[in-house]
């Protein structure tokens, strides 16, 4: 049940304080590249947060779903 | 009627039914571009008539939906050209206030900004892509979005357009566009989670009152 793990030591960027902010970045990443700092912070957050890794996967799936829908839906 | 003629008219009827079955999707597509339901219905009608006349040109290399969509795109552009004089229509302001997160968004996170409840894994999401019922749930989830958000999401993810192009057409800033897309994605994720992946399969016909 516990999503939190020990963050990796010795990395430069500040990890994001909240999943809410991480979710915003993950979504924006689908539309435009993030800055290096944003990207690094997000990476660190994802390392420690299972829910956000799931959200990232689900965003990718949502895109796949929408593209499949454009082609006609179910096989 | 000869046997050959009978076969031909049966084949035509089948093609007609197949084309007709794509109407709902095409209306959604047109709505994302044209905003006006009545106009969208009209343009789709024009596109379907053109498709019936030109069905011989459908080589079956792409899906029927893709082929019909390409015809519809031309019809939409035609209509937009004809409507150029009605500039006010395209210049209309965004329909929602974007300054604050809507209340339902706050309910997704706890006081410290962490997911509440935590996100559950979606088991075998790819298997859902082969079920027509899943696409029906997806459509109903899109219907629950605020209109502008639904349009922007459709243009971005279903049509695959770039945000820059979408913002321009919608008359909004890129950051507005990202906010709308993010909210749409959060809402759709919630809706699919609730009505499909977390045991909603049996009751998939009735997405509830959460966006």
Q: Could you read off the pLDDT tens digit of each residue along chain B, which spans 211 residues?
A: 677 777 777 777 778 888 889 999 999 999 998 888 888 998 999 899 888 888 777 777 788 899 999 999 988 988 887 776 444 433 444 444 555 778 788 789 998 899 998 999 998 999 999 999 999 999 999 988 888 899 999 999 999 999 999 998 888 899 899 999 999 999 999 999 989 998 765 444 444 444 4
Q: Do B129 and A74 touch (CB under 8 A)?
A: yes
CB-based contact (8 Å) between B111 and chain A?
Answer: no
Of B156, B157, B182, the CB nearest to A24: B182
Residue range A12-68, pLDDT digits in tens: 567 777 999 999 999 999 999 999 999 999 999 999 999 999 999 999 999 999 999
* Domain range B3-89, CATH class: mainly alpha
CB-based contact (8 Å) between A67 and chain B?
Answer: yes
CB-based contact (8 Å) between B138 and chain A?
Answer: yes
Of A62, A66, A71, the CB nearest to B66: A71
Burial A5-30 (b: 16+ CB within 10 A, else e): eeeeeeeeeebbebbbbbbbbbbbeb
Q: What is the pLDDT of residue B13?
A: 79
Q: What is the pLDDT of residue B204?
A: 42
Q: What is the pLDDT of residue B40?
A: 92
Q: What is the pLDDT of residue B87?
A: 45
Instruction: Answer left, alpha or beta for residue A10, where phi above 0 means left and psi between -120 and 50 means alpha.
Output: left
Q: Which chain B residue's Cα is nearest to A23?
A: B182
Domain ranges of chain B: 3-89, 93-203
Q: Which residue did the predictor score with more confidence, B184 or A4?
A: B184
Place of tokens 């454009």: A70
Q: What is the pLDDT of residue B170?
A: 87
CB-based contact (8 Å) between B70 and chain A?
Answer: no
pLDDT higher than threshold 70 for residue A5? no
Q: Do A62 and B119 touch (CB under 8 A)?
A: no
| Residue B75 burial class via C-beta count within 10 angstroms: exposed 0-12, middle 13-18, buried 19 and up | buried
For B93-203, CATH number out of 3.30.360.10, 3.20.20.70, 2.30.40.10, 1.10.10.10 equals 1.10.10.10
CB-based contact (8 Å) between B187 and chain A?
Answer: no
d(CA B49, CA B30): 15
Distance from CA of A4 to the nearest CA of B (A): 11
d(CA B184, CA A43): 23
Q: What is the pLDDT of residue A44?
A: 94
CB-based contact (8 Å) between B185 and chain A?
Answer: yes
Q: What is the pLDDT of residue A1?
A: 46
Q: What is the pLDDT of residue B82?
A: 72
Backbone angles phi, psi at A47, to 5 degrees: -60, -35
ipTM of the complex, rounded to two decimals: 0.84
Q: What is the pLDDT of residue A20?
A: 94
Chain A residues whose CB is inside 8 A of the B109 CB are 18-20
CB-based contact (8 Å) between B209 and chain A?
Answer: no
Q: Do B182 and A23 touch (CB under 8 A)?
A: yes
Tokens representing B129 are 């892509």
CB-based contact (8 Å) between A51 and chain B?
Answer: yes
d(CA A48, CA A17): 11
Q: What is the pLDDT of residue A33?
A: 95
d(CA B68, CA A61): 25
Residue A1 CB coordination number (10 Å): 4
Q: Do A24 and B163 touch (CB under 8 A)?
A: no
Q: Is there a cis peptide before residue B99, judged by omega within 30 degrees of 0?
A: no
Distance from CA of A63 to the nearest CA of B (A): 6
| Residue B91 burial class via C-beta count within 10 angstroms: exposed 0-12, middle 13-18, buried 19 and up | exposed
């Amino acid at each position: 049940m516990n999503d939190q793990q020990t963050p990796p030591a010795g990395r430069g960027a500040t990890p994001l304080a909240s999943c809410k902010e991480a979710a915003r970045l993950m979504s924006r990443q689908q539309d435009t590249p993030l800055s290096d700092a944003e990207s690094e912070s997000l990476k660190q957050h994802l390392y420690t947060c299972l829910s956000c890794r799931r959200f990232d996967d689900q965003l990718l799936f949502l895109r796949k779903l929408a593209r499949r829908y454009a082609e006609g839906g179910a096989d | 009627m000869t046997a050959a003629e009978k076969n031909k008219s049966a084949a035509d009827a089948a093609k007609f039914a197949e084309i007709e079955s794509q109407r709902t999707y095409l209306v959604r597509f047109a709505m994302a571009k044209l905003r006006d339901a009545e106009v969208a219905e009209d343009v789709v009608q024009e596109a379907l008539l053109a498709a019936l006349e030109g069905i011989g040109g459908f080589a079956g290399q792409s899906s029927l939906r893709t082929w019909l969509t390409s015809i519809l795109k031309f019809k939409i552009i035609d209509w937009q050209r004809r409507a150029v004089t009605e500039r006010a229509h395209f210049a209309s302001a965004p329909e929602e206030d974007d300054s604050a997160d809507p209340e339902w968004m706050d309910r997704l996170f706890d006081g410290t900004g962490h997911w509440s409840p935590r996100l559950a894994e979606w088991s075998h999401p790819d298997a859902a892509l082969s079920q027509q019922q899943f696409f029906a749930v997806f459509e109903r989830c899109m219907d629950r979005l605020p209109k502008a958000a639904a349009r922007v999401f459709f243009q971005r993810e279903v049509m695959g357009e770039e945000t820059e192009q979408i913002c321009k057409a919608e008359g909004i800033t890129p950051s507005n566009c990202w906010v709308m897309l993010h909210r749409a994605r959060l809402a759709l994720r919630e809706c699919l989670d609730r009505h499909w992946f977390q045991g909603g399969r049996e009751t998939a016909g009735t997405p509830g009152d959460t966006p």
